[in-house]
Chain A
C-alpha cells in the first residue's frame, strides 16, 4: 500500500547536528555497505510484552500502570480499541494490542499508559514493563512481523533470545487511524 510510506519528520528546532555528522549520516541508498554491516549502538529503552512479542519505546517516555482506572467501552468501534478511560481529566484511548497483533490474551494483563497530555495512550500488556540496555540493530532484513508493525518498527534488538522491536507510536497510529476512518460501519 503506497499510502503509508514513511514521511520525514519535521526538523526539530532545538537539535542541530554538526555538519560532519550530518554529512556522515548521508548515504546513497545504492551503497551496498549499508545493508551488509548493520550499525550497532548501545541505548536504554523501555520494553514491554504483548503475548510473545517484545516492544520497545524510548526510555525517556513517561509511563504508568493504571490498572485501577475504569475503562468505558465504546460501541461500534474496531475491536482493538477497547474503550477510553479518564486519566486526570484526559480522555485516553485504550488499545488492545493483543487483538491487533493477533496474540493470545493472558488472564493477568496490566493497563499501561504512556506519554502525557493529548498524546497519552494506554495498552494492555503482559507482565510489567522493564528497562532494557542492549545494542540496537538498525539493519534489515527485519524479522517477519504482523502488518501493523512492519510500518511502525524502526529498529530491533535481541536480548535473551527475545526480539525486541522499537516502535514509533506516531507511525503505529498513523496506520491505525487509517483503519478507523475507512472502516466505517
Chain B
C-alpha cells in the first residue's frame, strides 16, 4: 500500500492542519462529506488552539492526530469501526469542538452513511481512486522526477478513468467494472514494478475497449484475456470472470437482437427506448440500494441475531419502497411492499426462517436488479412477479394482485417527480406548434414576451447562421441561452408552439455544448429552419404577418427527430448519420395527411387572427407629449375664440354707431328738404321755374344724400363682416371640437379595462385565503369599465391591501361563520363604477365588520381619547385611518406588514382620492374608494381670492348663485345661508385659502358656490367675485411637486399667466380636519417603507415581471436586477430581506452571485432562493454548496414559493431575536 506522512515527524500543529486540510479537500471531491466535515471541524479546533494562550497540544491529542491518516485509510476501507473512531476523535476533550450531542451524532451518521453508499456501489472506484488521490504523496517521492514509464502509466490511468466514466454514463457496467478493476490493480502496484509488458497490455486493453464500442462480442474475449494477465494481478475468481463476461456481452447483445434497427445503440442492455438521463440516475440509485440490501442478506447467514437483522431488513425495504415510488417505479414499490410483508412474517416467526427463505430473498433481489437493467422492455418485471408467486414464500402473490402489479410495472410514471424530465414526443402535432393564446392569457406578460421575442429570435438566427459559417461553441451557448429564455417565457405566457420548439432546440444545443462539438451540417440546416420558423412565429404573434409560419409542424418534427436521436445515441461524429430514413418516412407521412394539416393551419390562422389586431408599441412619453400638444392647441383655440368674441362685440358697437349715423343723416336730409321748400334760400338765381315745377338740387342737398348712402353702405359692410366672423366662429368651433376629439382619442389610448387586473385580484384573494386558511369567493362587477391605465395601476396597490385586509381581518373562520349563521364560504365583492370624474370602487365583505369596542380601546390606550370620552362610530372609523393604528397585536403574513388601512388611506389621499368605511358589526365592512380620473380639460370659473386669481372647476360644485345679505344669518359664531328650505354652513374662499378677507361690509350681492363634500355634506362658499368663466387645460406641477393639498393643478390663461386650479371639496376637508379636536399625525408612513424587501435577479424580462407582480401582490417591496453584477451593485446600496435568483445568467450567474454574497459580512445571512429550470441533482448540489437556502425548479408554484419565503423570513427573524 501507499505510504503516508507520519504526523509524528511533523511536529508542528500547522503541519497537521495542512495535512488534514488536504484530506478535507479530497474527501469533498470524492463525495465523502461526512469525512470532510470531520476534517474541517478538527482544523477549526486546531486553528483555534493555535490562537489561544496555550497553543501546545496535549500528548494524547498529538498521538490521536498521528493516527488520523491511518484512521482515514481504515475508513476508506469501509470499516465502520473507523467511522466510529473518527467520530470519537471529534469529541476528544482536548479538541474542544463546540458541538452539541445531536450534531456529533449527525456527523457520525454521515460518516457511516458515506461508506455504506460507497460500499454499495458495484465497483471500487471511489475507494481505490480516492485512496490513491487522497493520501498525501510520500515525502520522499515528491521531488522525484517521473520516469517515462510512470508517465505513460499515469496517462493510461487517466484514459481508463475516462473510459470508466463514459461506460457508466452509457450504462455499460461491464466495461466500467473492467476499467475500475484495472485501475485498482495498477494503483496497488509499486511504481518500480511496472514492466514494458504491462504497458503493452494496457495499450492493448484500450484498443479493445474502443473496439468493444463497435463489436462487443469479439472484443470481450480480448478484454478478459487482459484481465487474466498475470502482470496485472487482478484477483478474480472464475465465477466472477464469467459474470463479467456476461455483463460485457449480454447488454449490447440484447439490444442488438431485439431492436435491429437501432444497431448504433450504445446503451448496452439498458433501454430500447430513449430514457432521459435523470431517470438513469434514479435507476442507478435503485440498483445501488438493492446491493445494500443484498449485503444485509449475506450478513444474516453469518449471524445469530436473526430478529435484529430481519428488522433492519424491513426498514431497508421500507426505504426501498419509498425510493421506488419517488423514481416512478410504482409497480416495483408494490412488489417491495409485498416482500416487506413476507419479511415481517419471517420476523414474527424466526424459528421457521430457513436458508431456503434467504435464498428466495437473494433471488428476488437479483430479479429486481435485472428488472432495473431493462425496465423499459415489454417483458420486464415478469420474472419478478413469477418469482414472487412462488409457493415457498409465506405470503405468495395472489393472481389478482399480480395482475394489478403487472399493469403498473410496465408503465413507469416518469413524471411523478419534477426532477425527472418529461419524455420527449416522437411525433410533432399541430397542437405542438399552435400559437393560439390561452383564454386567460396575462396581457402584461404577453406584451413583455412580444416585446422581447423579435430581438431574441433574431439573435438566435444570427447565432445559428454563425454556426453555419463555422462559428464557435460561444454561438451554441448564445443560442442555447436564448432557447432556454424563450422556453421559459413562452411557458409562462402559455404559447405552446414556441415553448415546445425552443424546449427541443435547447436540448439539442445543450447536447452540442456538453459534447463541446459543433453541430453537423445536417443539424445546422435543421436549426436554421427552426430559427426561421421561430422568427415566423414571432412575426405572426406581433402581427407583422397574418399567418403562422407554414410547415412549423414539419420543422418541429425534424427538431424532434434530432433530439430523440441525440437522446438515444448522443451526438454523431460523422455527417452521414443523420436520421434521414426516419425523416423521409415522416415526410411521407406528413404528405399523406397534408390536406388535414393545411386546413388545420388555416383554421388556426383564422381563429388567431381575430384575437390579434395590428398594434404598435409607443412609449408613454409620446402619448403624454401628444396630450400636451393637443392641450396647447385647445388653449390657443380658446384664445382665438376669445379674440373673436371681442371683435364681434366691437362690430356690434360699430353697428350701433352706424345706425346712429344713418339716423342723423336722415334728419339732415329732412332739414334740408324743409329749408328748401320754405326759404328758397339756397339758390337765389332768378329762374322762371317754380320749385314745384322743377326739383332744383343744390350742393348741400347732394352732400347730404351722399352721406346717407355712405352710412347705409357702412352698415351693410358691417353686417357682412359680422357674417364672416360668424362663419369664422363656426370654423373655430369645429376646430375646438376636433381638438377635443383628438384629446379624447389620445386619452383613449391610455384606457384599459378593469378586467385586465381581475386575474391579479383573484390570485391575491386565493393566495390570501390559502395563507389564512379561510375560504372566500371574489365577485367583480363593472370590470368592463375603461379606466386610465395610470389610475388603474395606482389603484392596484391599495386594492390588494384592502382585499388582504378583508380576508385576514374581515372574514371569520369557517366555524365562526357557521356559528353566526352565515355561509361557510366568505364573499367579497369588488364593484367598479364611474361617478362624475371619479372612479368609485366598493369592496364589500360579509365578515365580522369593524369592532368598534376594540378601536375605542386601542384609541384610549394610545391616549388619543379619554377612556370615558363619548366618541361616535364615525369618529372611531376615522381612527383606523390614522398612522400606526392597528387593533391587532401580532402581525400576520397577509396583511400585518405594517400596511394597515392608514397606509392605504395615505396612498389614496396622495392620489387625490378619498377612502370611506361603512360597517355594521357582524355584517361586514364596505370600503369605498374614490379616485379622480385625470382631467386635462375642464370648464372653470376664474375667481379672485384676495390678490390671487384662482380657477375653480366643477368638481363637487352643485350650484352657483348670487345671494343677498338677507339670506345670511348667524347661529352662535357660525354664519349660515338659507336657501329655499335648506340651510348651509357658510365659509369664504379667502378663509379656506387663508387669505385676508377683502369683501366690503354689507355688500349687497355675493357670489356663492354650493359645494358638496365627499360625505354628502353641502357647504356654501362666498367668493370675492367671479372674474370670468372659461375652458381651461389643467396641468400638474411637474414631476417633483406631485400634489399640493387643495389643488388639482394649474392652468395657463390666455395672457400667459398661471392660475392655480382649486379642489374646493378637498379644501373644505382640510379646513375641517385642521379644526378637529384630535392631534394631527406628525409623521406619515410611506407605503412600502415597512414592507419586506425582496431582490429578484433574473435575466428573462418575463420571469422578472411575473415574479415582481407575484411578490408585490403578496406585499413585498420588489427590487429587480438582470444579472449577478447588477444585483451586487444594488446590494451596495441596500440590504434586502431575501433574494431570489436564477441560476443561469449572463456576466455573473446565480451560483457566483450566491457565493459572493456569502462572503460579505453584511449579507452573509441573507436568505437566498434559487429558481431555475435545471432540475438535476448536480445543479442542486452546486447551488447548495454555494449557500443557496432553497432550490426551486421552474415552473414555480406560487404558494410553494411564498411559503418558502415566509419560512426563511421567519427563520431570520428568529435568529435575530
Contact = CB atoms under 8 A, between A and B. Distances in A.
B864 to A, nearest CB: 18
Contacts, number: 157
Interface stretch (A37-45, A76-84, A134-142, A156-164): A76-84
B835 interface: no
A19 B1125 CA distance: 6
A26 B1130 CA distance: 9
Contacts of B230: none
B948 A75 contact: yes
Interface string B1146-1157: 011000000010
A3 B1122 CA distance: 27
Contacts of A30: 1161-1162
A76 B994 contact: yes
Contact of B1060 (A3, A16, A84, A90): A84
A89 interface: yes
Contacts of B1049: 91
Interface stretch (A55-63, A102-110, A115-123, A143-151): A115-123
A20 to B, nearest CB: 10
A5 B1071 CA distance: 31
Given A8-B1130, A77-B1044, A185-B1046, A3 B1083 contact: yes
B852 interface: no
Interface string B1102-1140: 000000000000000001111001101111111000000
Contact of B1038 (A70, A74, A118, A184): A118
A14 interface: no
A19 to B, nearest CB: 5
A8 B1134 contact: yes
A23 B1122 CA distance: 16
A84 B1058 contact: yes
B1060 to A, nearest CB: 5
A93 interface: yes
Contact of B1147 (A19, A76, A83, A183): A19
Given A75-B995, A183-B1045, A184-B1074, A26 B1132 contact: yes
Contacts of B1089: 2-3, 5
B1095 to A, nearest CB: 10
A185 B1036 contact: no
Contacts of A180: 1041, 1043-1045
A96 to B, nearest CB: 13
A22 B1039 contact: no
A115 to B, nearest CB: 9
B1128 A22 contact: yes
B1037 interface: yes
Interface string B1047-1070: 101101000111110000001001
A131 interface: no
B1119 A89 contact: no
A11 B1130 contact: yes
A74 B1060 contact: yes
Interface string B1013-1050: 00000000000000000000001111111111111011
Nearest to B1133: A8
B39 to A, nearest CB: 28
A83 B1119 CA distance: 36
B632 A75 contact: no
Nearest to A22: B1125
Contacts of A70: 1056-1057
A95 B29 CA distance: 66
Interface in B1085-1104: 1085-1086, 1089
A122 B784 CA distance: 43
A173 B834 CA distance: 33
A84 B994 contact: no
Contact of B1040 (A76, A77, A177): A177
A17 B1132 CA distance: 14
A5 B1088 CA distance: 11
Contacts of A26: 1128-1129, 1131-1132, 1156, 1160
A76 B1161 contact: no
B1080 interface: yes
Interface residues of B, number: 66
Contacts of A27: 1132
Contacts of B1047: 74
Contacts of B1147: 16, 19
B196 interface: no
Given A75-B948, A86-B1052, A181-B910, A7 B1041 contact: no
A85 interface: yes
B941 interface: no
A121 B628 contact: no
A105 B1052 CA distance: 29
Interface string A160-184: 0000000001000100111011111
B1073 interface: yes
B483 interface: no
B1081 A91 contact: no
A22 B1132 CA distance: 10
A27 B1162 CA distance: 10
Contact of A184 (B1058, B1070, B1126, B1162): B1070
A28 interface: yes
B1084 A93 contact: no
B1038 A17 contact: no
A120 B1060 contact: no
A180 to B, nearest CB: 6
B1038 A92 contact: yes
Contacts of B1120: 10-11
B632 A89 contact: yes
A32 B945 CA distance: 59
Q: Which of B909, B1040, B1086 has the most CB of A within 10 A?
A: B1040
A58 B970 CA distance: 59
- A8, A19, A90 — most chain B CB neighbours (10 Å): A8
Contacts of A181: 909-910, 1043, 1045, 1084
B947 interface: yes
A3 B1058 CA distance: 33
Given A86-B1057, A177-B1040, A180-B1043, A7 B1134 contact: yes
A28 B1160 contact: yes
Given A86-B1056, A180-B1043, A11 B1126 contact: yes
A177 B1041 contact: yes
A173 B1041 contact: yes
A77 B950 CA distance: 14
A3 B1082 CA distance: 12
Chain A CB count within 10 A is highest, among B992, B1039, B1052, B1132, for B1039
B1085 to A, nearest CB: 7
B946 interface: yes
A42 to B, nearest CB: 23
Contacts of B948: 73-75
Interface in B697-720: none
A92 B1050 CA distance: 10
A77 B993 CA distance: 9
Contact of A182 (B632, B1081, B1130): B1081
B629 to A, nearest CB: 9
Contacts of B946: 75
Given A3-B1083, A93-B1038, A185 B1044 contact: no
20 contacts: A3-B1086, A8-B1130, A11-B1122, A16-B1125, A16-B1147, A17-B1129, A23-B1125, A25-B1129, A30-B1161, A73-B947, A89-B628, A90-B1035, A90-B1038, A118-B1036, A118-B1039, A177-B1040, A177-B1043, A180-B1041, A180-B1045, A183-B1045
Q: Which 10 A-B pairs have the closest CB atoms?
A: A173-B1040, A72-B1058, A8-B1133, A75-B993, A185-B1070, A22-B1125, A118-B1039, A185-B1074, A76-B993, A3-B1086
Given A118-B1036, A178-B1086, 16 more contacts: A3-B1084, A22-B1125, A23-B1156, A25-B1129, A26-B1131, A27-B1132, A72-B1060, A74-B1060, A75-B945, A76-B995, A91-B1035, A93-B1037, A118-B1038, A120-B1038, A176-B1041, A184-B1074
